[in-house]
Amino acid sequence: MTARRDGARPRDGSGLRSLAGQVLALEALIALLLIVAAVVVTFQQARGDVLRDARTRSLAVAEAFAKAPGVDAALTSPDPTAALQERAEQTRVATGVDFVAVLGRDGVRYTDAEPELIGERATGDLSRAVVDGESFTETFRGSPTDAVRAVVPVVADDGRIVGMVTSGIEVQSISEAVQGRLVVLLAAGGGALLLAVGGAALVSRRLRRQTHGLGPAEMTRMKEHHEAVLHAVREGVLIVGEDRRLLLANDEARRLLGLPADAERRPVGELGLDPRTVELLESGRTATDEVHRAGDRLLAVSVRPTAPDGSGAGSVMTMRDTTELAALSGRAAVARGRLQLLYEAGVRIGTTLEVVRTAEELAEVAVPRFADFATVELLEPVLRGEEPPQDATLAEMRRTALSGVREEQPLQRVGEVIRFHVPSTPMATALAEGHAVVQAELAAAEGWRAQDPEGAAGALAYGMHSLLTVPLLARDVTLGMANFWRADTAEPFGEEDLEFAEELAARAAVAIDNARRFTREHAMAVTLQRSLLPRVLPDQNAVEVAYRYLPAKAGVGGDWFDVIPLPGARVALVVGDVVGHGLHAAATMGRLRTAVHNFSTLDVPPDEILGHLDELTGRIDEEGEPAPGGDGGRGRGQETITGATCLYAIYDSASGVCTVASAGHPGPAVVDAEGRVEFPPLAPGLPLGLGLGDVPFESTELRLAEGSKLVLFTDGLLEDQGRDVGTGLRLLRRTLERPARSPEQICADVLATLLSPAPRDDIALLVARTRRLPADRIAEWEVARDPAAVSPVRNAAAAKLAEWGLDEAVFAVELILSELVTNAVRYGADPVRVRLLFDRTLVCEVSDGSSTSPHLRHAAETDEGGRGLYLVARFAERWGTRYGRRGKTIWAELRVGPNGGDGGPEVAGPGPAPTAPLDLDALEKLAW
């Protein structure tokens, strides 16, 4: 064997790493497995034979003994053991079994090979012999020892089973018999193994000489290396012998040098190579990355001798095409730059939900790394947030964004209308075909020049020489287009730029479409909310009101407020909050606000108002639930409104009492005239629509001095990024503690302190400064339950009206009081009270302790009564019934003339005066 050229230690071929060693080990292992399998199978067969023989012998012995004469008689004798024990032992010894036992029907041993077991019950299931009369064998595991036993019933002459005979061989005896055979099997297996290993060793020795001790992995690796050098390696390889003939050329060398198919064994000078290359190969010197020409290619060539010392050996030449590597490197750099630009576009485009800003971001991303100038044109409906038309090929567009490497440029300005009336322009072609179009030489674009000759001439004179235009498509609908221009960059746009431009435009189009949809929904939500929120607060004298409403940065939401005048110089102050933003929240707010207005007409306490509102909310949620068996989803417009909160307060300017109830809403702040701030504790209640109607709402009464400020707000005022409710309440308290400020000033100061630049939630703020109805504008009388007491009350009321300067209303008030007081006296309960309130209107109230509700009806011509409430409704502007904790109050409201309440409208009396004076005493007899 020759010495290895790499200087490594020669292999001796021994060991499992060589192919011969592995073949030897494999053959030995196969032989061992076969022999072991044969031994195991033979052993199992022998063991099976022994077990079958044991069963046969045990059954034969048991049957012979059971059928032996006198056995049945002995079993029925007084002492079966004395009669059968010796006989059973003789049988056991004679037959060679391990035990013969006679058992009674109950399994008690009468005889046994071990006398101490006589009298004990045998274990195991013996019912097959005793009940069924069946003889059987089994492998028994239990006490006293494991054994193969047979059980045979003993049948008397009359057919009765009088006992059983068991006979068997212990498992230990069977194992000893099998072990005797196992020794022979192992000896035979060992001999066979020695023969197999010897034969494998002879085969391995011959194989080791043929493979030189190499292992399979080394031989496979040598083959792979050879194939890789010839076919897979993308570097040319030439091997030249010491006689300067070509010994080997791989596929890449043949391609680079253009070698013929029969190049092997030919001198290198006859291969048609460049003279410099031939000289290098024939010289035998070494070289590293020398540049040689091969046709139109530039090759980097390296040469090394095949022998380490360089004596008496050939050489190896490797070569690579530097021309293609340079081009590939340039393309890779461009691709990396494009990928980086696409990544930046994904981050920078669409940072806001504004259509114009998104278009500007697209233009800014493309300049200067892809284009020198970039313009974005969008359809007019897209700018307004509307759906774009399906066919945009001939539509006008408005330039929305423009970005360039210089401020001065010849392109049309932002805001101008762009028209494409020439179909052959690159822009019109891109819109018609729905993909990017490149115009490498703008000077050759006849359609583009014909569309705007003056503008085209100016652009060409400026240096614009190349254009790439791409439509902005989202959901297969055109939103606009983007144009990329080159002026300073000498290289024009090419076909390889189309894919990148379309990818960039596709990402921008999605962001623009999202912004368009947000613009549309935001405009719809703003319009809806503006139509639902109070535009002008109603006129009333109970409180002086200022308010603020600010939507969240993400759009409008569900916060609302309301000021609702109530009869009796009272006013309702409402603040609510619906979770969420957008159209659904705004629509939900409108539904709740309408419901609050409707329930306010019931004129019930705040806790009952919230109870009605909660019940209505629950019914609305139930209507939005999917039908059984449906798809489980909610249809459009079926969203639930669970999650709304509401604070409802009623302020009575006559008494100065404010009654407040909350449905999961933050309580109000109360600021007295000296600037002291208090957050009165309220029963918080649960949000509306949770389906917990069995948990009632609770009202809290607050007695407010005149000039106190009641501050109602939503939680968006307190909570914000980095600020919790507690911090917000502390800031609000410090802001409200400044005295002597109007509600408008308080609203401005509160927002200046607590409002963040970008609020996350809507903010509703309502500040009401309380007023008191002057005591001289209130008149009250207790009325005895006597019809004769009606006239004095009527006269006293007329005198009070004359004192107030309301002589024109005396007749109507006397008529109304006559009807209301008369019916309270007749049908009501004590106490009966009359109260006149002179505010913006004149309010007549008659209270009694009964809860019976009157109702308006039209009496027939023959009816003697039933016209009382009709007359009240005829002469009063409004009338109604208000229920208290005990009893009711019927009120009637009349408009007064220019000398009425503060700021009251100049309205005449309720109707034309009758032509003849009525008999008021007679009217008292009318009833409803």
Q: What percent of the chain has pLDDT over 70?
A: 81
The pLDDT assigned to 648 comes to 96
The structure tokens listed for 452 are 């705007």
Residue 463 scores a pLDDT above 50: yes
Q: Which of 104-108, 178-182, 223-227, 773-777 has the lowest mean pLDDT?
A: 178-182
With CA atoms as reference, report the closest residue to 242 among 190, 305, 160. 305
d(CA 847, CA 884): 10
The answer, yes or no, to whether residue 914 has pLDDT greater than 50, is no
Give the pLDDT score at 782.
92
Q: Are 402 and 365 in contact (CB under 8 A)?
A: no
Q: Which residue has the higher pLDDT, 495 or 21?
A: 495
Alpha carbons 329 and 335: distance in angstroms, whole number = 10
- State which H helix or E strand residue 195 sits in: helix 171-211
Question: What is the distance in angstroms between the CA of the first residue and the CA of the last residue of the chain?
Answer: 135
Query: Residue 823 carries which side chain, given as an amino acid letter?
Result: N
**Mean pLDDT in the chain?**
80
Over residues 84-98, mean pLDDT: 84
- Residues facing 485 on adjacent strands: 373, 467
Is the per-residue pLDDT at 407 higher than 80? yes
Average pLDDT value for residue range 736-744: 90
Q: Is pLDDT above 70 for 331?
A: no
User: Is pLDDT at 710 greater than 70 in this prediction?
Assistant: yes
827 vs 765, higher pLDDT: 765
pLDDT tens for 571-628 read: 999 999 887 776 777 778 888 888 999 999 888 899 999 999 988 887 776 665 554 4
CB burial class (10 A; 0-12, 13-18, 19+) of residue 192?
middle
For 503-534, the three-class secondary structure string (H helix, E strand, C coil) is HHHHHHHHHHHHHHHHHHHHHHHHHHHHHHCC
Report the b/e string of 309-343 with b at 16+ CB within 10 A.
eeeebbbbbbbbbeeeeeeeeeeeeeeeebeebee
pLDDT the model gives residue 928? 36
How far is residue 323's CA from residue 288's CA, in Å, rounded to a whole number?
Answer: 17
How far, CA to CA in Å, does 672 sit from each of 660, 709, 740, 745, 768? Answer: 17, 6, 10, 15, 12
Has residue 291 got a pLDDT over 90? no
* DSSP secondary structure code for residue 229 in this structure: I
Q: Return the amino acid letter for 301.
A: V
- Distance (Å, whole) CA 802 – CA 679: 44
Q: Residues with Cβ < 8 Å from 744, sequence gap 6 or more?
A: 546
User: Residue 866, by phi and psi: left (phi above 0), alpha (psi -120 to 50) or beta?
Assistant: left
Q: Is the pLDDT assigned to residue 491 strictly greater than 50?
A: yes
User: What is the Cα Rg of the chain in Å?
Assistant: 55
Q: Which residues contact 493 (CB under 8 A, 6 or more apart)?
A: 438, 439, 440, 466, 467, 468, 484, 486
- Tell me, what's the pLDDT at 16? 60
Q: What tokens does 449 get?
A: 């020049």
Give the model's pLDDT for residue 14: 53
If pLDDT is split at 50, 70 and 90, which confidence band does 902 have? very low
Residue 256 has φ and ψ, to the nearest 5°, of -70, -40
pLDDT at 879 over 90: no
Min mean pLDDT across 391-395, 538-542, 573-577 is at 391-395
Residue 460: the pLDDT is 92
Q: What is the pLDDT of residue 838?
A: 93
With a cut of 80, say whether residue 38 has pLDDT above it.
Answer: no
Q: Is there a contact between 658 and 650 (Cβ–Cβ < 8 Å)? A: yes
Do the strands 287-294 and 315-321 form a parallel or antiparallel pair, or are they unpaired? unpaired
Question: What's the mean pLDDT in 72-93?
Answer: 85
Residue, of 896 and 890, whose pLDDT is higher: 890
Residue percentage of the chain with pLDDT more than 90: 24
User: Shortest CA distance to 318 belongs to which of 231, 233, 242, 245?
Assistant: 233
Phi/psi of residue 680, each to 5°?
-60, 140
d(CA 791, CA 832): 14
Q: Quick check: 531 pLDDT over 80?
A: no
Which tokens sit at 348?
């920078």
| pLDDT at residue 861 tops 80 | no
Q: What is the pLDDT of residues 542-564, one digit of tens each?
A: 999 999 988 776 666 788 899 99
Task: Tell me what pLDDT residue 68 has.
Answer: 85
Task: State residue 282's pLDDT score.
Answer: 83
Q: Binning pLDDT at 50, 70 and 90, where does residue 864 land?
A: very low
pLDDT, residue 9, reads 43
Confidence tier at 860 by pLDDT (50, 70, 90): very low
Q: List pLDDT tens digits, range 107-155.
A: 888 888 888 888 888 888 788 888 878 888 888 776 677 778 888 898 8
> Tokens 């449906």 label which residue?
630
Point out which residues pair with 136 in neighbouring strands: 151
642 pLDDT above the threshold of 50 = yes
CA distances from 241 to 267, 294, 340, 433 (A): 9, 22, 50, 62
Question: What is the predicted pLDDT for the residue at 285?
Answer: 83
Question: Which residue has better confidence, 809 or 140?
Answer: 809
Best mean pLDDT range from 46-55, 291-300, 431-440, 633-642: 431-440
Of residues 12 and 853, more confidence is placed in: 853
Kindly report, residue by residue over 346-375, the tens digit of the pLDDT: 888 888 888 999 999 999 999 988 999 999
Decide if 330 contacts 367 (C-beta within 8 A).
Answer: no
> What pLDDT shows up at residue 292?
83
- Asked which of 416-420, 581-585, 636-640 is least confident by mean pLDDT, the reply is 636-640
Who has greater pLDDT, 802 or 521?
A: 802
Q: What stretches of 533-596 adopt beta strand conformation (E)?
A: 543-550, 560-566, 570-578
Q: How far apart are CA 567 and CA 597, in angstroms?
A: 14
Q: How many residues does the chain have?
A: 928
Q: State the CB neighbour count (10 A cutoff) for residue 466.
A: 23
pTM: 0.53
Residues 750, 717: Cα–Cα separation, whole Å: 9
The CA-based diameter of the chain, rounded to the nearest angstrom, is: 151
pLDDT band at residue 656 under the 50/70/90 scheme: very high
Residue 429 backbone dihedrals phi, psi, to 5 degrees: -65, -45
Tell me the pLDDT band of 326, cut-offs 50, 70 and 90.
low
How many whole angstroms separate alpha carbon 677 and alpha carbon 734?
9
What pLDDT sits at residue 650? Answer: 96
SS3 576: strand
Q: Which is more confident, 880 or 928? A: 880
Summary count for the chain: helices (H), strands (E): 23, 30
Q: Report the 3 state secondary structure along 284-297.
A: CCCEEEEEEEECCE
In the predicted structure, residue 304 carries a pLDDT above the cut 60: yes
* pLDDT the model gives residue 649: 97
Name the pLDDT band for 685 (thresholds 50, 70, 90). Answer: confident
Residue 328's pLDDT band (cuts 50, 70, 90):
low
Element (H, E) at 844: strand 842-848
Task: Compute the distance between CA of residue 37 and CA of residue 46 in angstroms, rounded to an integer.
Answer: 14
HSE toward the beta carbon, residue 31, CA cutoff 13 A:
19
- The span from the CA of 713 to the CA of 767, in Å, is 9
Amino acid at 226: H
